[in-house]
Amino acid sequence: MAEQRVSRWYFGGLASSGAACCTHPLDLLKVHLQTQQEVKMRMTGMAMHVIRTDGFLALYNGLSASLCRQMTYSLTRFGIYETAKKHLSQGSQGPPPFYQKVLLGAAGGEPGSGALGSGSPRVDKPLTQHFFGHRFSCYSHALDGMYRVLREEGVKKLFSGASVASSRGALVTIGQLSCYDQAKQLVLATGLLSDNIFAHFLSSFIAGISATFLCQPLDVLKTRLMNSHGEYRGVVHCATETAKLGPLAFYKGFVPAAVRLVPHTVLTFVFLEQLRKHFGIKVTT
């Protein structure tokens, strides 16, 4: 009988938070690029603009919002996914099939995407305004933004647009967790790599690309709704208006999104695998 370690339910939140600390500047720049009214600057140009205007530390504006997001949204979806996968694997001869992993990803991502998670446009707006630093100075930090929306507009407004956030959460969880597990399974099955950091890197890179491709259309819609001033009557109307610009409009900012999401996914799973290896629960197989 062999002994191995499995992840604890909260490892995903810790790993995602660690990754967010490394990739937060890329997330901030992605928001800047997506909220441009016209395409004036690319990633490098935007980074230099932020540093020249507000200093290097401005790249970390809104880190509290990012950590709040990871310790709610990511902790929940990883916890649900890993717990359910462990339950399905009990008594079976191998890992669950891919379609079950997809269903688990959707089940874990959707409930994790509430107002404190991946964020409805109503909540993401104060968080994003906090990203921009003094340009939007009405909120002092992430919790202040959520408290102000709750106090001034009520609980219902706090969850406005949550359907888009829930759908996006399900898709990005499928892209990251389900595709990572499947990619890792296929990589190890080749026999070319053992269960080491190189296999984790390759599998998580594939998962990051998959997650970006799946969630980018909804990410674009969420950003448009978040920055709208009443011109959209809802998600369907926003999607219809975006479609008039052509199918590629749904993938506006794909490269900046991938530049942010792929490294975040890679770091998350590298950290997660290290946490599992050194602090996971010992089981015998």
Residue 84 reports pLDDT greater than 50: yes
Between CA 231 and CA 227 the distance in angstroms is 10
pTM assigned to the model:
0.79
Between CA 207 and CA 79 the distance in angstroms is 18
Residue 117 reports pLDDT greater than 70: no
Query: When comparing pLDDT for 173 and 161, which is higher?
Result: 173
Q: Which residue has the tokens 């604890």?
A: 8
Residue 21 reports pLDDT greater than 80: yes
Give tens-digit pLDDT for 29-46.
Answer: 877 776 665 657 777 888
Give tens-digit pLDDT for 192-236.
Answer: 999 999 999 999 999 999 999 998 988 888 778 777 777 888 778
Nearest Cα residue to 89 out of 78, 101, 77:
101
Here the tokens at position 228 are: 């709208």
Mean model confidence pLDDT for the chain: 81
Question: Radius of gyration of the chain from Cα atoms?
Answer: 19
Domains belonging to the chain, first-starting first, are 3-20+64-284 (1.50.40.10)
Between CA 123 and CA 269 the distance in angstroms is 27
Residue 126: what pLDDT?
A: 46
Mean pLDDT of 250-254: 87
Between CA 54 and CA 109 the distance in angstroms is 35
Return the percent helix, strand and coil in the chain, to nearest 5. 75, 5, 25
Mean pLDDT of 168-190: 94
3-state secondary structure (DSSP) of residue 275: helix
Between CA 187 and CA 171 the distance in angstroms is 23
Q: Can you say whether the dihedral through the CA atoms of 140, 143, 146, 148 is positive or negative? A: negative
